[in-house]
Amino acid sequence: MNIKILELSKDKVKLLIQGEGHTFMNVLTEEILADPDVDVAKYVIKFQFSDPELLVTTNGKKDPLMAVSEACQRISRTCEELLESISVPGKQQSKK
């Protein structure tokens, strides 16, 4: 995943996230909005095959890139917990 910073200020970031679609972006924006320091988290895909642009604004108490990073870490932990809870007959799950 390649990410390009289009705009960055103390309380606002606009990112271009290459190669992602609605599935990932919906999860990401929902998780970013779970942060009480985030005012806005939304994305737009301008054309059918274009990359999404993510806009995040905060109340000034948190760097917007930190809000995105923390949301990604929470998503990753949730996915790890799901993988650990799935048991496949005949295979052992590796523990980290």
Domain regions of the chain by residue span:
3-84
Right CATH for 3-84 from 3.40.1190.10, 3.30.540.10, 3.40.50.1820, 3.30.1360.10:
3.30.1360.10
Q: Give the pLDDT band (50/70/90) at residue 84.
A: confident
- Round to whole Å and give the CA distance between 57 and 41: 7
Residue 74's pLDDT band, with cuts at 50, 70 and 90, is very high
Query: The tokens 């995105």 sit on which residue?
Result: 68
Angstrom distance (rounded) from CA 49 to CA 69: 25
